Structures are given as C-alpha cells and as structure tokens.
Amino acid sequence: MDTITAISTPLGEGAIAIVRLSGEEAIQIADKLFKAPTNKRLSDVDSHTIHYGHIIDPATDKIVEEVMVSIMRGPRTFTRENVVEINCHGGLVTVNKVLQLCVQNGARLAEPGEFTKRAFLNGRIDLSQAEAVMDLIRAKTDRAMNVALGQMEGKLSKLVQKLRQEILETLAHVEVNIDYPEYDDVEEMTHQMLIEKATFVKAEINKLLQTSQQGKILREGLSTVIIGRPNVGKSSLLNSLVHENKAIVTDIPGTTRDVIEEYVNVRGVPLRLVDTAGIRETEDIVERIGVEKSRQVLKEADLILLVLNYNEELSNEDVKLFEAVKGMDVIVIVNKTDLHQQINLEKVKELAGDRPVVTTSLLEEQGIDALEEAISTLFFQGNVQSGDLTYVSNSRHIALLTAAKSSIEDALIGVETGVPIDIVQIDLTRCWEQLGEIIGDAVHESLIDQLFSQFCLGK
C-alpha cells in the first residue's frame, strides 16, 4: 500500500495539531523533512519513541515548524504499518504547510476513515470494532462512550465469533450425516444436536436483539421534540435541560419562530432536543412557517414532550395536540405550577392515558428531576446498564442479527418438520454468513468503502 497522510486533529487554533503518516515510506518521508539538533535520522531511532526538532522545507532549507515527532514501526501500530505523528503548534497555517510538504515528498492525502480502514484490512481490528471507533468519537454521554469502548475491545466480536464457531461445528456434523447416511445413530445424533445448537444460537441472538433499542438510543440519541401551544414554557424547558439560555424566553406568544436543536444528557440517555414554534393557527407568515416545521419534525420524533399550561384551561388546540401524537412515546408536562391552577388535571390524565404526566415550575426550577426520571424509565426502565451487557447499537448489526435469527429459525423448523438435512444445512450456512458480515468476514468491498467514507479525515 502507498503512504497516506492527513491532519488528525480538528482544524482551528489549539495547543497542538497532529499530522499523521501511515505506510511503508512513512518514516523515510518524515526523514526528508525533519531535522534534529543532534542530526540523528528518524530511520535510525528506536520504535515508539518521540523526538524534538524542526520541519524543514527541502526545497528552500527553511524552518517551517518546531515539532515533536513520534516514530512507530509496524506491525505494533494501529494500522499495522509504519506510522509517524508530527506534533505541531495548533495553528492553521503551519500545520497545513507540514501536510503539504508530506504530500510533496511522497505521501498521498488520506480518504475519510482510511487509517481505520487500513487497520481493518490489515487484520488489526474487525469491522464491528472499526465502526465502534466512530461511535466513540460521536458519543454524547459516558454510557454511550462505555458501549463504544466495549465494542472496540471486541465484546460483540467475541460473541459473534463464538456463535459462528457453534454453527461451524454443527455444519461439520451435518456433513458427516450426509456422507454416511447408512448409520442411523449418526442421523439421530445429528438431529438432536441440530436442535440443541440452533436453539442456543437463537437464544444468544435474541439476547443481543433485546439490547438493540437501548443500544441504538445510546449510539444515536433520542430525537426528542418539545411541543405545545405558544407561551406554555417550551423554550424554558429546553433551557432547563441544557442548563443554559439557548432559546429566547419572553411572555409574548410566538417568540420561537424556528426549530432549535441541542444535545443534552439525561441520566446517561442522549437526547437530540428540538424546541419548536408553538403549534397554533396564525396569520403571521413567519410564525406559520415555524409551525409547519414543527409539524414536520413531530413526525420524525422518538419522544414527544407535550407541554401544557397549569394556569390555563385545556383548549381545543391542546386536545388536537394529544390527537396528533397518538401512538407515539409521549411525556405530558404541566408547567407553571407556581401560578394559580386553571387546568383540569383529571382531564389531562384522561387524555394522557398510560403516558407519564409530570408537573413543573420551570421558573422556580421544580419538577426537572421527576421529568428526567420519567424519560429514563420510559426507555430504560429507570436503569441504563453498560457494564457486562453487550449492547448492539448499530443499525447494520441489528438488521444482520434479525436476518440471522430468521435463518436459524428456518433451520429449526426444518429439523422439526423432517426437512432433509442438506436443506437445513443451507439455512445454517446462511446464518453463519450473516453473522460473519457483522465482523467483516463476509462483506462486499463497496460496503466497506461506504462505511469508512462516513469517518472524519485523519481517523
């Protein structure tokens, strides 16, 4: 493979910026640019050491940057290739100049995710671990980070490999039955073993799929939309959950004209919180556009926070909001309990049905704990586990596990209804292949390219 390079830190001003090289010529390219006070060459230094010096432009022999250079020789590196990391001052101009010099002297600009892709192609990590790298970068909460770390360490990979080995051993016994059909005892043993092994694999896949809703929430966050009539406290609710004034709050109805988005951490559950314009009939053109946007994001939400006013009677618009969120996960919030009660709480509970109803006074910061508890309980029964549990959080993994479960169920039905063993073998093989796609043992090259294209440059 050729040698690739990229800036591996976010662009902008900072303490340091890192230019990374990976490939057979990485150390030689760095050697052309690096000058140490001792004149020692990087090709002569020990692996996994760091060295002070300057980056020199070979064309002019001028100093470009003062740096620390880390040398790591393969295969004991992330990509299993020679890796060089040039630690520069965190500015825009010099770090880009260092990158340009690397390209001018033999390296190629890396594609998005190409360092991690090389780690996968060189057998350093499997596909599920590679995907976990991006999950770790994007983690919004400690629990999401722990789930990603578990996958990076191979929790899911080891379990999938164990299941594939169980299927492989079963397929070997099936082959014996096909090759030696004259032995009746072999056939009986094979049928019994098929049922036991397939039942075990199905149960393990079920365990993983049971974590998929929670895992996907931890990975992607809950799309949470705050709705309600104007001036019931929607923006105040967003500010209370975010713990800062992100939205303008006034006593004037219709202040929020557009959709405001913000990520928040509620007891380890990441919420992609959306504050919407108050939903009502209005002649104001700008507000009407905001209301239409509110209706649109409502359709895409995982969780609805429906806010009502404790100080006002239920209106027809409130009742219409309940109808609009029928069949969705909803928490009803009755806000402004610091004011005189006008709302009929019994009617609210009747409209809410079995959905949680929480009373708050956001002005006096009361009721937020109860709301957070309701959100956590609704999706995680009040407890988000991330220790020993192997979460499945990736949509691709969930789809493959669902398909593998279907294949193993087909195999079980086949055995129990007396379908010929060689037909059952097809379903078992399909399950084995589908599980293999999770870790990248059986996956198309175009899918690999698509997955790694979602990564940031330099990773």
- Digit-coded pLDDT (tens) for 318-338: 898 888 888 888 999 999 999
Band the pLDDT of 453: cuts 50, 70, 90. confident
pLDDT tens digits, one per residue of 334-359: 999 999 999 999 999 999 998 999 99
Question: Which residues does 167 contact at the CB level (< 8 Å), separation at least 6?
Answer: 197, 201, 428, 431, 432, 435
Question: What mean pLDDT is predicted for residues 109-135?
Answer: 88
Question: What's the pLDDT band for 249 if we cut at 50, 70, 90?
Answer: very low
| Number of Cβ within a 10 Å radius of residue 240 | 19
* Helix/strand/coil for 456: coil
Q: How confident is the model at residue 188 (pLDDT cuts 50, 70, 90)?
A: low
* Counts for the chain of helices (H) and strands (E), in that order: 16, 13
Which residue do the tokens 């919407």 mark? 276
φ and ψ of 247, to 5 deg: -115, 145
* pLDDT at residue 76 is higher than 90: yes
Could you read off the pLDDT of 386-397 as tens digits, one per residue? 444 566 777 888
Per DSSP, the three-state class of 181 is coil
Grade residue 47 by pLDDT with cuts at 50, 70 and 90: very high
Tell me what percent of the residues of the chain surpass a pLDDT of 70: 81
**Mind listing the pLDDT tens digit for each residue in 55-70?**
999 999 999 999 999 9
pLDDT over 80 (residue 260): no
Q: How confident is the model at residue 186 (pLDDT cuts 50, 70, 90)?
A: low
**What beta strand segments (E) does 73-110 contain?**
83-90, 108-109
Average pLDDT estimate for 219-237: 81
Q: Is the pTM of this model over 0.85?
A: no
Residue-wise pLDDT for 279-291, tens only, equals 445 444 544 555 5
Mean pLDDT in residue range 26-42: 94
Which domains, from first to last, does the chain contain? 4-110 (3.30.1360.120), 140-211+392-443 (1.20.120.430), 223-380 (3.40.50.300)
pLDDT at 253: 42
Q: What percent of the chain has pLDDT over 90?
A: 37
Q: What average pLDDT is seen over the chain?
A: 82
User: Does residue 83 carry a pLDDT above 50?
Assistant: yes
The rounded Cα 204 to chain-centroid distance in angstroms is: 22
Instruction: Give the pLDDT confidence score for residue 240 in this predicted structure.
Output: 82
